Amino acid sequence: MQKKLAGLKPGAKRRTHLLLVAILWTAVGILLLTKGAYRITGVNDYGSEIVIIALISGTLKSYYVLDRSARKSISRILNFDDGTCLGAVYSSKTWLLVMGMMGAGVVLRNSSLPLGLLCFIYFTIGWGLLFSSRLAWRAWAAGKNN
């Protein structure tokens, strides 16, 4: 019975896990940047300043916070055996954090925050994720030689 259940798990190679992490970070980053860009048109006087400051903040967030998390995820994946379930791409603690961030996104979207601040948050987080995704893309590309 256990062998039959094991055959149903969506197992994948380490390289596939790395690709999945790279795609997830890139896609969420682009999604948040798009949300910010869509809403920034409603900020008439200081929209370009918001974008510039948010991109600088996102770069700092990437270097000092998200890169550490990305390296930890990559290292964890590189220790997997081939055939590990795709859901293991993140630990259960990280999956809970992801769900919490999604919930926070819903709260933010429905909040009464000023539009400029909301755009700043979208651009900062989106750019930080997109920029840090470079580490997963590099790890995935390095796996081509293995």
pLDDT score recorded for residue 146: 52
Q: Is residue 45 part of a domain?
A: yes
pLDDT score recorded for residue 2: 60
pLDDT score recorded for residue 44: 75
pLDDT score recorded for residue 47: 85
Q: Is residue 4 part of a domain?
A: no
Q: Is residue 88 part of a domain?
A: yes
Global pTM value: 0.87
Q: List the one residue out of 121, 94, 97 whose CA is nearest residue 109.
A: 121
Q: Is residue 5 part of a domain?
A: no
The CA distance from 112 to 17, in Å, is 38
Q: How high is the mean pLDDT in each 10-residue block of the chain (146 residues)?
A: 63 90 96 94 85 97 95 92 84 88 90 92 96 96 73
Residue 25 φ then ψ, to 5°: -65, -40
Report the number of distinct structural domains present in the chain: 1
Burial (Cβ within 10 Å: 0-12, 13-18, ≥19) of residue 146: exposed
Q: Is residue 34 part of a domain?
A: yes
pLDDT score recorded for residue 78: 92
The CA distance from 39 to 44, in Å, is 11
Q: Is residue 133 part of a domain?
A: yes
